[in-house]
Amino acid sequence: MKLLNYKLIIFDLDGTLVDSKIDILNANNKTLKYFGFKPISRSQLKGIVGQGIMGNINFSLQINKEHASEKLKKTMFKYFYNFYKKNLFVKSNVYPGVRHFLKELKKRKIKTAVASNKLENLTKIVIKKAQLNDYFKFICGGNTFKHKKPHAGMLNALLKKMKINKKDCLFIGDSEHDYEAANNSKVDFLLKQNGFTQKSKSYFKCEQFKNYRSLTNQI
């Protein structure tokens, strides 16, 4: 894959740019326990990250075969949001090599953007705390446009906003939600391995990479 062929590279956030699993797990389990539900394990978290706060709550309850009313889930959402907003970059870290890779893309005038299902304001806070905000032309979250991943609408709206053709765009992500969003939008996809997915490597019919150092060498 020749990265110089692209005018825009879009990144997912959690599991792609930032290892945020511990902070998300802490917020998730603190919420569950506060409302009397069972916490989930770190391995189970991989299967739910990427669908936003309400997705985390819904899938956590499903995993433990528990039920909550829609009214209660809205209250849980507020609790999760308020706690996570204050604690979203406590244990999180930028993956090794990310900054150098972004610097190299910037040198070559390749535009970059972020497309996360996390709420837009939380996505921007994470990017700022990670000291990555100077690299991205546009940052969108799950509530920025009408649709979120894996619906094609999110990437389509982002491309329209940035006035980039699909053939000139690459999406880099770590999960099936990212992979399916790229397929639905018909843009090229590159998988970062060891992210937040429980799917096997064989599920992803695309090129893959293990770390950003190896990816930088492809520029």
**Distance between CA atoms of residues 166 and 127, nearest Å:** 25
In the structure encoding, which two tokens stand for residue 137, read together?
């032309």
Instruction: Enumerate the active-site residues.
Output: 12
At 142 the three-state DSSP class reads coil
Contact 14, 22 (CB under 8 A): no
Of 45, 54, 52, the C-alpha closest to 73 is 54
Q: What are phi and psi of 114, to 5 degrees?
A: -120, 135
Burial of 217 (0-12, 13-18, 19+ CB in 10 A): exposed
Q: Residue ranges of the alpha helices (H) in 46-116?
A: 52-63, 70-86, 98-107
In the structure encoding, which two tokens stand for residue 180, read together?
């399916």
